[in-house]
């Protein structure tokens, strides 16, 4: 069975690659060198070549808070094109099941917490990432329309903030954990302050990339209901950005040099997700502790520094 993974060279794709030997699929990991998914003809050539039975759709134009705030047109247009092209080819080439990856940032800014799978369209997303959020919401709608009109098994997963090896550690475009790891590394190397942008007060749930990879394959093999599925650590595992920065600085033994620059925006204060729907079906799953996950990520980052994404 051919399992095609778009965005296969990214954080989650690399995590699936690490665990692939535990599963009986012919894994095909796509990267940008295989074709431009914003172009329909190139997307179709990929599907003609590989004839996938299943697709895990991870590819997206992504970035941290400041990229989302400053490049809204690109975030909206490129993601709409990618998602349309991939889903339309999945339908045309009769893919048996599609798992498309969303994000908790697409939920309404003003809502009750914890958020669950039914609350996605209850209000506008936070304006700091609204372009990306609306593109991802459209992916969910598009998948649902294929379910309703053609009875296709096109479903969406909604992971919380992901981190781990092979992340994008860019200082301006990376997500919070990889960007903070890189910032602290450079601060210690240059004997400077470890500056954390914002107040450190916002709360987040973080899922280790290997955990998410396992949950995605479980979803492919076991979850066949219409409706989205949140893939998240429990609500009680939520931590502040200050907590994360502290864990990172302690790993580098540099905690006394950490300061917060409150002139930067915090973005959305919280987006706590409810993982009860998942855990009701997968009661025995054990999530990686954030201290352990960050420690492993930092070790990998330091050992591979010259080759990591975002090493500028």
The whole-number pLDDT of residue 312 equals 59
The 8-class DSSP code of residue 101 comes to E
Give a yes or no: residue 191 inside a domain.
no
The whole-number pLDDT of residue 262 equals 94
The whole-number pLDDT of residue 283 equals 84
The whole-number pLDDT of residue 295 equals 98
Q: Which residues are designated catalytic?
A: 132
Distance CA 145, CA 219 (A): 20
pLDDT, averaged per 10 consecutive residues of the chain (312 residues), comes to: 96 97 97 95 98 97 75 93 98 98 90 93 90 95 97 96 94 87 96 95 96 98 90 94 97 96 86 93 92 98 92 64
Strands 54-57 and 97-101: parallel
- Residue 208, SS3 per DSSP: strand
Give a yes or no: residue 299 inside a domain.
no
Give a yes or no: residue 310 inside a domain.
no
Give a yes or no: residue 115 inside a domain.
yes
What one-character-per-residue DSSP string does 4-71 give? EEETTTSHHHHHHHHHGGGS-SEEEE--GGG--TTSHHHHHHHHHHH--SEEEE-------HHHHHH-
Distance CA 305, CA 310 (A): 10
Q: Domain containing 92: what range? A: 2-163+206-234
> 0.75 cut: is pTM over it?
yes
Give a yes or no: residue 265 inside a domain.
no
The 8-class DSSP code of residue 253 comes to T
Domains in the chain: how many in total? 1
**Residue 106 burial class via C-beta count within 10 angstroms: exposed 0-12, middle 13-18, buried 19 and up:** buried
Give a yes or no: residue 136 inside a domain.
yes
Give a yes or no: residue 309 inside a domain.
no
What one-character-per-residue DSSP string does 111-154 give? --SSB-GGGTTSSPPPTTSHHHHHHHHHHHHHHHHHHHHH---E
CATH label of the domain that carries residue 126: 3.40.50.720
- Residue 165, SS3 per DSSP: coil
**Residue 242 burial class via C-beta count within 10 angstroms: exposed 0-12, middle 13-18, buried 19 and up:** middle
Give a yes or no: residue 26 inside a domain.
yes
């Amino acid at each position: 069975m051919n399992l095609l993974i778009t965005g296969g060279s990214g954080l989650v794709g690399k995590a699936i690659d690490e665990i692939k030997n535990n599963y009986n699929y012919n894994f095909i990991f796509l990267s940008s060198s295989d074709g431009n998914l914003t172009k329909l003809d190139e997307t179709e050539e990929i599907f003609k070549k590989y004839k996938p039975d299943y697709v895990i759709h991870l590819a997206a134009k992504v970035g941290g808070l400041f990229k989302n705030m400053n490049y809204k047109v690109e975030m909206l247009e490129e993601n709409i094109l990618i998602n349309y092209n991939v889903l339309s080819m999945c339908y045309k080439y009769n893919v048996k099941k599609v798992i498309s990856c969303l994000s908790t940032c697409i939920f309404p800014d003003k809502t009750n917490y914890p958020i669950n799978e039914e609350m996605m369209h209850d209000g506008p997303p936070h304006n700091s990432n609204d372009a990306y959020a609306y593109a991802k919401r459209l992916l969910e709608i598009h998948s649902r329309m294929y379910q309703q009109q053609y009875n296709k098994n096109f479903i969406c997963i909604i992971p919380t903030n992901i981190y781990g090896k092979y992340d994008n550690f860019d200082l301006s475009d990376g997500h919070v954990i990889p960007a903070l790891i890189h910032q602290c590394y450079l601060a210690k190397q240059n004997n400077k302050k470890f500056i954390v942008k914002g107040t450190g007060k916002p709360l987040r749930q973080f899922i280790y990339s290997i955990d998410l990879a396992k949950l995605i394959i479980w979803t492919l093999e076991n979850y066949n209901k219409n409706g989205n599925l949140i893939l998240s650590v429990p609500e009680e595992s939520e931590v502040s950005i200050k907590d994360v920065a502290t864990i990172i600085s302690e790993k580098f033994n540099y905690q006394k040099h950490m300061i917060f620059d409150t002139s930067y925006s915090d973005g959305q204060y919280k987006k706590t997700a409810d993982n009860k729907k998942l855990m009701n079906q997968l009661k025995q799953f054990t999530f990686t502790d954030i201290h352990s996950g960050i420690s492993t990520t930092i070790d990998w980052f330091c050992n591979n520094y010259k080759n990591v994404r975002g090493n500028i």
